[in-house]
Structure 1
Amino acid sequence: MDTEQTDAYLRRIGAARPAAPTARALGELHLAHLRSVPFENLSVHLGEEIELTAEALVAKVVRERRGGFCYELNGAFGALLTALGFDVTPLQARVYDEKGRLGIPFDHLALLVRTQDGGQWLADIGFGAQSHLPLAYGERGEQTDPGGTFRLVESAEGDLDVLKDGKPQYLLDPRPRTLADFTGGAWYHRTSPASHFTRSLVCSIIDGDSRITLSGRTLTTTRDGERTVTELASEAEVLAAYERYFGIRLEREPRVRASR
């Protein structure tokens, strides 16, 4: 990313260019991204290709003013952080399902970020409802965050379980990866009937101290654990909600595609 592209990305998330790649700057960028760019899987159901290159991902977030799921969001964010002088390493993880079973390898992409002031941080703006701020990568005690209480627990094999409020979210492999390594995982999640991304629609963003989520025609606002649910009645209402709450302009309503 050149200076012009970097500045455009910073404008997209409403953040100033940091003076140095510090832990504080990383935290500000992380939160700004979560508040500006939605977690969404609309491309899966709109028949859009997902290209795992930094150029394509940044273009989707900045020029097209869209969001994405983990590979897209953390891939684009990693490119921004690298352009700003942070040391960024993609890491692969396997996600736990509701029954505690692990998903496929390269199920999820997260970022290990090293800052100029000597810190190592787990940055993840692509997991949906996760920590609002980066987690201290070397810390093994509880880490309190606006998104919950988090903990990184080492396994006997050297991997890290990432826990939220005591519940395992994903198993993180500390070995460095590249963006291209996640091509198979991204293909699986946009094509397999077994993937939850092919079976449901989601678009979600942090709005102040609330989270707003649109799933199909169900609009949910969550604040302090209290949920307000509104059922939208028409395609026009759905398209208006995408634009109002997520800044996404669509020509047609996304619908879950039939599994093939």
Structure 2
Amino acid sequence: MAALPGATSDHWAGPYLGAYFAAGAGRARQNLASTAESAQRNFNGAVLTTNFVASTTTRGNAVGDTTGSMVDLFAGYNWRAGNIVAGGQIEGTLFSDVAFKTAGEQTSNSRQVQNNVVTTGVNQVTMQASEQLRSNVGVIGRAGYLVTPKLMLYGLGGLALGHFTFPDPGNADGPNGKWVAGYTAGAGGEFKLTQRWSLRGEYRYMHFDIDRNETRTSSSTQIQGATTILRSNADTTSRKTSADIHIAKIGAVYGFCYCD
């Protein structure tokens, strides 16, 4: 585009579009807490008796690696004052296979009362989980300094909104998707190849806290002669995952600058 009347020719200011290819790794930590309760009560005439009560509490911790790659599209706008360039950018993921797998141990403590007989137990098993970042939308701000007329070094920070899928075995329809708000920060450099085309190299840090809470309840009634049998079950599970991702990005940018 030609320079606007009265405007100074500037190949750093104005709107731009571009694409990133990114790959990286990080760390994930997950805490699990669950409770399961079941009971059977018999109602015979005016008498209600409890025949069976059971409860189990489970706690677990797991850690693992986060790895993968992604392709992002982005658009933004720059303003320039001297050697300072600042602006805003929106970005969205076109493809992502970023995933984390955690492993650890979980311990279950159970207590059962049947016909006034109390039984307790402790069970320890391996805990494993996996989750995938399928999409990401970001809104960030950038501020940079022109080291030379063609090279800008900059820092950035902003909001990241990630869509995570979790392979819930209780969901027959497939992965359980959830959008989670996080944040991103980083730094990079941009080099002008021409007035409108430039290349970027960038480091990006992303952090997400993913909370998943599930509650399932069921009850049934059975009549046997003069006795009514009441059964109930309740299960609650909470998974809290903290994921850190360190990403290296390389991108190509086309600027709709106010150029001669």
TM-score, scaled to structure 2:
0.20
Kindly indicate which of the two structures has a greater share of residues assigned to strand.
2
Q: Which has the larger radius of gyration?
A: 2
Structure in which a larger fraction of residues adopt helix: 1
Q: Which has the higher contact order (CA 8 A, sep 6+)?
A: 2
TM-score by length of 1: 0.20
